[in-house]
């Protein structure tokens, strides 16, 4: 039975929350690495087959899925990571959509405004992080996960984008005790800790713009 296959570029990017979920859940997967020049030059013909012409792609046997957030939600549904009831599921989706909003802001900075916009971005970042600190504060005083008693697919997405911001500025969470403790708690989970130390994780830059 073929297992899970994740097709993406040799970067963390939009595939990293998926990798964190799989690693933390003890689920093995195959990395199908696409070289960026081959993708854009057409040497790798898969761009024409991709539903939206982009990656990541996720394969579960013969089942093929694109869109990183859809892949996260699919794995959440399959592996019990979508909350305890409809209300929690709705809030998990809401938080994941909020993470997507922040990821798009982060991507715009990295790919289009880095030289001129970093200071302004960091100055305005608290207005975004305030939302997530408050979300954590409303669930068990921030001592657990974004929603409910169990980890959900949105937690892996939030962890990744927070780590991206810690890479951008190591002090970006210093005014956020709940977010700081949340990241520390999640990265200390044995399987996430093991993955974060792995060559597979550390050979990949966050984006093609980051130099290893």
Nearer to ligand GVX (CB atom), residue 57 or residue 152: 57
Please give the residue ranges that form the binding site for ligand GVX (CB under 6 A). 9, 11, 13-14, 36, 47, 53-56, 67-69, 111, 207-208
CB of 162 closer than 8 Å to CB of 173? yes
Contacts of 181 (CB under 8 A, 6+ apart): 142, 143
CB of 39 to ligand GVX, least distance (A): 6
CB of 40 to ligand GVX, least distance (A): 6
Pick from 73, 45, 44: which is nearest to 58 by CA?
A: 73
Nearer to ligand GVX (CB atom), residue 55 or residue 178: 55
Nearer to ligand GVX (CB atom), residue 192 or residue 206: 206
CA 121 – CA 109 distance, rounded (Å): 7
Is 171 annotated in a binding site? The answer is no
Nearer to ligand GVX (CB atom), residue 9 or residue 145: 9
CA 148 – CA 19 distance, rounded (Å): 22
Is 121 annotated in a binding site? The answer is no
Pick from 22, 12, 3: which is nearest to 192 by CA?
A: 22
CB of 184 to ligand GVX, least distance (A): 26
CB of 188 to ligand GVX, least distance (A): 27
Q: What's the number of CA atoms in the CB half-sphere (13 Å) around residue 44?
A: 18
Known binding residues for glutathione: 8, 14, 39, 47, 54-55, 67-68
């Amino acid at each position: 039975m073929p297992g899970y296959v994740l097709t993406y570029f040799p970067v963390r990017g939009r595939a990293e929350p998926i990798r964190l979920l799989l690693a933390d859940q003890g689920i093995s997967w195959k990395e199908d690495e696409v070289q960026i020049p081959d993708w854009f030059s057409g040497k790798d013909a898969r761009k024409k087959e991709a539903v939206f012409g982009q990656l990541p792609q996720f394969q579960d046997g013969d089942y093929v899925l694109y869109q990183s957030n859809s892949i996260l939600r699919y794995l959440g549904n399959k592996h019990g990571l979508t909350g305890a009831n409809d209300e929690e599921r709705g809030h998990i989706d809401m938080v994941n959509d909020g993470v997507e909003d922040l990821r798009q802001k982060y991507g715009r900075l990295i790919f289009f405004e880095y030289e001129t916009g970093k200071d302004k971005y960091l100055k305005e970042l608290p207005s975004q992080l305030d939302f997530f600190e408050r979300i954590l504060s409303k669930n068990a005083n921030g001592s657990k996960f974004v929603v409910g008693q169990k980890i959900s697919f949105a937690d892996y997405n939030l962890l990744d984008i927070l780590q991206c911001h810690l890479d951008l500025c190591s002090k970006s969470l210093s005014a956020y005790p709940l977010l700081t403790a949340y990241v520390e708690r999640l990265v200390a989970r044995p399987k996430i800790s093991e993955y974060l130390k792995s060559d597979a994780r550390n050979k990949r830059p966050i984006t093609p713009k980051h130099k290893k």
